[in-house]
């Protein structure tokens, strides 16, 4: 491993964390020295490694194995002491302002989620649907993600971190046209299709002299090191796990665009389609567009075929596929915002948080990507489509873990590939889709030969 350039520094917040009571500071200091330290350390390292194109968590942690962070109490407030941090996070001896803001966002979310949400069962019953949704709401509210009264304009963009150059340029074009129409952007905060729409929107916002553009990144501790925040993100939220991250996306979104990606993108698609296929959500207005440059049209052809085979024709009516027309994507979404606004007003739902969307327990319960849990999944077509979507989502979530997350990488190293089994025809369709991702180089960044972390058994 190459020796890296590092720097140590004391960092003071420039946010509301700058003004804390003595009790609050002691709580922060105590929590930072608890079992949360490892989570805080890896998330902080990911932020300081902003713009990284390494998607192997273990390699990042190994490269900066001497990195350390601690919360120090002073009479004027808290200070973060970072040691052996990536030098590219600094200009001279000063940490880049945007990176400093994101660093304290990490501290805010991890410690708030642990001290106020995950450990207070009397306040947040995470075993229930309403309790989990309430927790997601409070984490987002604590992060100041909500702007009361602002008309719907938040477009969530999903897509791969490992995409081709022409696909990245296309995501920028879509973002540009969204920016011209005053849309804000929310993504998973990483590189590739998560960065492109934000970068394009900054130009669109600038041309319209729109100075308050929002570029929201929503992540979680298991993925942030593999998908370090891109430099455009100006609001970062770290959710406790992937399921709450996905719920945060769909609760705050007024419309969703999906660009080409890999297994993570497929997981997100199945999650959303599973929700929209639930009978309780059939009247929900939720714009969903799949789009790609003309050269990548085959990506969504394969996705569409897989959805038709597994979830049926009703699922295909929930989205539009637009190829090679970035302006059309933005134009349609701008029109759709009117319908979303009218519906929220009609049912008296908040603009900033979609309370009316029903999210059943199949989509809320955290799924641990263990070999045993993968083997026990029910992957047969003789079940309700939204339940099948929930189980297929778990398959793709496990493959994401096996590709880039530390826990998954270590499990594969110790026990070998995940064994995925079920309905013969369904397994053949799944294997064909995953093989297409591999052939198109969508599994990992800069990997000439991809060694699958899974084995499909029919």
Mean pLDDT of the chain: 90
Q: 20 is written with which tokens?
A: 């804390």
Confidence at residue 4, expressed as pLDDT on a 0 to 100 scale: 58
Residue 27 pLDDT grade (very low, low, confident, very high; cuts 50, 70, 90): low
Q: State both tokens at 367.
A: 């799924």
pLDDT confidence bin for 1, thresholds 50/70/90: very low
Does the structure show a pLDDT above 90 at 368? yes
Report the pLDDT averaged over residues 216-222.
Answer: 93
pLDDT, tens digit, 9 for 90 and up, residues 400-453: 999 888 888 899 999 999 999 999 999 999 999 999 998 888 887 666 688 899
Question: Domain segments of the chain: what residues?
Answer: 6-118, 148-346, 363-457
Task: With a cut of 90, say whether residue 7 has pLDDT above it.
Answer: no
* pLDDT value for 407: 85
Closest C-alpha to 132, from 142, 141, 121: 121
Which of 10-14, 31-35, 58-62, 153-157 has maximum average pLDDT?
Answer: 153-157
- CATH number for the 148-346 domain, one of 3.40.50.20, 3.40.50.450, 2.40.30.10, 3.40.50.2000? 3.40.50.450
Q: How far is CA 331 from the centre of its chain?
A: 25
Instruction: Answer positive or negative: Cα dihedral of 246, 250, 252, 254.
Output: positive
**Residue 62: partners with Cβ closer than 8 Å, 6 or more residues away:** 1
Q: What is the pLDDT of residue 75?
A: 62
What CATH number does the domain located at 6-118 have? 3.30.1850.10
pLDDT tens digit sequence for 67-106: 988 887 776 667 888 998 888 889 988 899 999 999 989 8
Extract the tokens encoding 328: 């059309």
Please indicate whether residue 458 or residue 142 has the higher confidence score (pLDDT).
142
Distance CA 142, CA 371 (A): 36
DSSP H/E element including 327: helix 326-346
Q: H or E element: which one contains 292?
A: strand 288-292
**φ/ψ (deg, to 5) at 63:** -65, -40
Residues 6+ apart with CB under 8 A from 363: 243, 246, 247, 271, 274, 275, 390, 393
End-to-end CA separation in angstroms for the chain: 40
Containing 112, the helix (H) or strand (E) segment is helix 97-112
**DSSP conformational letter for 181:** T
More confident call, 448 vs 300? 300
Alpha carbons 64 and 6: distance in angstroms, whole number: 9
């Amino acid at each position: 491993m190459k020796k890296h350039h590092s720097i140590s520094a004391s960092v003071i917040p420039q946010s509301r964390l700058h003004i804390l009571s003595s009790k609050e500071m002691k709580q922060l200091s105590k929590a930072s020295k608890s079992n949360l330290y490892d989570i805080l350390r890896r998330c902080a390292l990911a932020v300081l490694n902003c713009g990284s194109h390494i998607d192997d968590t273990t390699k990042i942690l190994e490269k900066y194995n001497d990195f350390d962070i601690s919360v120090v109490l002073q009479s004027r407030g808290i200070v973060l002491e970072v040691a052996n941090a990536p030098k590219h996070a600094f200009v001279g001896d000063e940490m880049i302002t945007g990176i400093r803001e994101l660093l304290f966002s990490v501290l805010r979310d991890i410690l708030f989620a642990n001290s106020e949400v995950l450990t207070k069962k009397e306040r947040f019953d995470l075993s229930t649907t309403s309790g989990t949704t309430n927790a997601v709401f409070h984490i987002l509210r604590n992060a100041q993600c909500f702007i009361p009264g602002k008309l719907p304009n938040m477009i969530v963009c999903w897509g791969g971190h490992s995409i081709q150059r022409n696909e990245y340029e296309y995501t920028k074009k879509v973002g540009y046209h969204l920016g011209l129409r005053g849309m804000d952007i929310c993504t998973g905060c990483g590189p590739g299709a998560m960065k492109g729409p934000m970068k394009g929107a900054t130009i669109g916002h600038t041309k319209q002299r729109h100075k308050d553009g929002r570029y929201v990144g929503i992540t979680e501790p298991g993925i942030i090191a593999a998908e370090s925040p891109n430099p455009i993100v100006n609001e970062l939220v770290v959710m406790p796990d992937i399921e709450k991250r996905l719920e945060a996306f769909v609760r705050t979104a007024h419309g969703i665009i999906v660009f080409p990606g890999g297994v993570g993108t497929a997981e997100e698609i199945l999650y959303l389609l599973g929700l929209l296929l639930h009978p309780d959500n059939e009247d929900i207005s939720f714009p969903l567009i799949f789009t790609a440059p003309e050269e990548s049209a085959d990506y969504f052809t394969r996705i569409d075929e897989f959805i038709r085979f597994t979830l049926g024709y009703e699922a295909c009516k929930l989205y539009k596929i637009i190829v090679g027309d970035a302006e059309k994507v933005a134009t349609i979404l701008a029109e759709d915002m009117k319908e979303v606004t009218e519906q929220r007003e009609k049912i008296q739902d908040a603009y900033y948080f979609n309370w009316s969307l029903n999210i059943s327990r199949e989509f809320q319960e955290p799924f641990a990507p263990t070999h045993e849990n993968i083997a026990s999944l029910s992957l047969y077509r003789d079940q309700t489509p939204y339940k099948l979507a929930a189980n297929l989502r778990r398959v793709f979530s496990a493959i994401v873990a096996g590709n880039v997350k530390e826990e998954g990488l270590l499990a594969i190293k110790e026990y070998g590939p995940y064994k995925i089994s079920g309905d013969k025809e369904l397994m053949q369709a799944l294997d064909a889709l995953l093989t297409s991702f591999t052939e198109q180089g969508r599994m990992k960044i800069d990997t000439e030969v991809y060694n699958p972390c899974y084995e499909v058994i029919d």
